[in-house]
Every structure is written in structure tokens, then in C-alpha cells.
Amino acid sequence: MLDFALSAFVTLLLVVDPVGLAPAFLAATGGMPDKVKRTIALRAPLIAASILVVISLAGNWLLRQLGIGIPAFQIAGGLLLFGVSYQMIFGDRPHREAREADKATSEHASDVAVFPLAIPMMAGPGAIATTLLLTGNAGYGAKLAIIIAVVVSVCLLCMLCFVSASLIARTLGRTGNAVLSRVLGMLLAAYSVQFVINGIAAVRASLP
């Protein structure tokens, strides 16, 4: 259980990347009063956590309704996560997210806590795929409770990073953000490949 909890936490943490979202938060809340920024910093992670918890609870049911096997989703989810890791390593993910947040603000998004911070930056395709992958074989026992606790923990870390966003941005600087993004991207790439390997192994084991 401890290994499962640690693996789930590290995987979701790498996907969401709370520290890397600090520039996006600053861009989305630029020019807003400090009181409004604090409200958004508290609200956005709560919304994202709610979305991911619902997905973790309904994930198995959703896969069954769609007729999707766990191995197929492991392979597809692993490939999707690999795409996210590729962007983190060879792209400019933190600054791209900041630009997207800035664009959403300039277009007068009604509530930046919902979009773009909660969706798609925290509860985006990568986080949703990861949550579904983790709950695929978890059932409704202790492992599911661990996944929900992991989701809440990662979102609380996002909340802490948002509250401390100005300090984080100044401390890391552009170079620090780039280095952090690429290191986390490498780790996420390894996790995504492991998901694909597990899915292929499960398919081979099911063959006559």
C-alpha cells in the first residue's frame, strides 16, 4: 500500500506540476487585488480536486460503460502522458501555460479559478488520464481512498504554490523554471512508458 501511495502521488505530482503552475497563476491574476488573488488561489485547487475526485469515483464505471478495457486505457493513457512529458522536456510548458492564462484573462474569462487554472491546467487531460489509470485496478477499497487522498494532497500543494506564487517565480527565475520542467518531464516520461509496458503485458497475458 505504501508503494502504491508513493507511486500514485509522484505520478500525479509530476503531471500537475504545482510549482510550474505558479507563473500561470500570476499571469491569470495579473492586475487583480490581493484579496481576489487569495480567493482564486483557494478556490481553483478545490474545484480541480472536486473534478478529479469525481473521476476517481466514477472512473471504473465510465470505462465499463464505454467498453474500454484497462490494458487499452493503460496504453492510451501512457501515450498521452508521454506527450505531456515531451512538451515539458522539449517545449516551454510553464511559459506556454502562462501565456494561455494571460490570453484567457484578456478575453474576460468569467472566472479564472475555473478556467484556465482548475481546467485545464490542474484537472487537464494528463491529470484526468492519470487518475483513471490509477483507479483502473483500485476497486472501491483502500486503494481508492489512497487515490482520493493523493488527489487532495496534490491540489493542496497547488494551493500552497498559488499563495506563494510571487516568491516562487522570483526564486526560480526563468532558468530555474526551465530546468525544473525538464527534470520533471524526464521522470514523467519514464512513468508513462511503464504504463504502456504494463498495458502490453496485460494484453499478452490475456491472449490464449
Give the pLDDT confidence of 156-197 residue by residue, as tens digits.
999 999 999 888 877 877 787 778 778 877 877 887 888 789
Residues 65-99 as b or e (16 or more Cβ within 10 Å = b): eeeeebbebbbbbbebbbebbeebbeeebbbebbe
Owning domain of residue 65:
1-27+34-99+122-206
Asked if residue 46 belongs to a domain, the reply is: yes
Asked if residue 104 belongs to a domain, the reply is: no
Asked if residue 44 belongs to a domain, the reply is: yes
Asked if residue 116 belongs to a domain, the reply is: no
Our CA angle for 3, 6, 12, nearest 5°, is 135
Asked if residue 111 belongs to a domain, the reply is: no
Asked if residue 114 belongs to a domain, the reply is: no
d(CA 57, CA 147): 10
Position 98 confidence tier, pLDDT thresholds 50, 70, 90: low
Asked if residue 113 belongs to a domain, the reply is: no
Total Cβ atoms within 10 A of residue 159:
19
Structural domain count, the chain: 1
Would you state the pLDDT for residue 100? 56
Asked if residue 112 belongs to a domain, the reply is: no
pTM exceeds 0.85, yes or no: no
